[in-house]
Amino acid sequence: MIKSPTNSVWILGRILVNGDSDLYNVLKLQNQFTLTPLSQYGKPVITAKNETLADFKKAVVSPNTQDSIRFFEELRVALKKNPTPAGETALIAVFDRIGLSKNETPYGTNLDPAIAAGLSRAIKDGDQVIKNAFNNSLGIDINDWSYSTDIGTYGYNYLLRAAITEVA
């Protein structure tokens, strides 16, 4: 059993493929993987539509969001579906200051240009911080595979979570 504190989970797995002739076996194995909420365990399987990240973004982003700061709108909506953990009062205060807790998008075309430019710059700077964090968190190299025991147990380490997501 894997506990998830949010309404969304992301599972990453790797299967060794021994050449083209092995693809059929790997696909057959992949098709046996399931993800079941504990509340549904032992009950008949219900096939759900596989929602991709692109579907998620399309369905929730306000259409009048400025493209250069679309990340903040996506984050605002995601936080509505997956609130911050208890004990994150300081983080929530920062989120409030940049509009992430609002019910309607504050990132539309009427946003102050200086604020929009600052948020856009924050996205670029944040992306570089995440890339640097990933390069510093690769873990142990075993036979050209990076191995780390920290992956999947992030707690409040949002930078590590973002760094792993960067390459997954």
Distances (CA, A) of 130 to 40, 136, 145, 152, 166: 36, 10, 20, 17, 7
Rounded distance, CA 82 to CA 26, Å? 33
Amino acid 125: pLDDT? 95
Amino acid 59: pLDDT? 43
Residue boundaries of the structural domains of the chain: 52-167
Q: Nearest to residue 116, comparing CAs of 44, 149, 68?
A: 68
Amino acid 129: pLDDT? 93
Pull the structure tokens for residue 1. 């059993």
Give the phi and the psi of residue 134 in degrees, each rounded to 5. Answer: -65, -45
Burial 57-90 (b: 16+ CB within 10 A, else e): eeeebeeebbeebbbbbbebbbeeeeebeeeeee
Amino acid 137: pLDDT? 65
Distances (CA, A) of 119 to 52, 100, 114, 130, 148: 26, 12, 9, 16, 32
H or E element at residue 147: strand 145-147
Pull the structure tokens for residue 3. 């506990």
Rounded distance, CA 46 to CA 129, Å? 41
Walk along the chain (168 residues) in steps of 10 and give the mean pLDDT of each run. Answer: 71 86 92 81 71 49 81 89 83 91 89 93 93 74 70 80 78
Residue 42, by phi and psi: left (phi above 0), alpha (psi -120 to 50) or beta? left
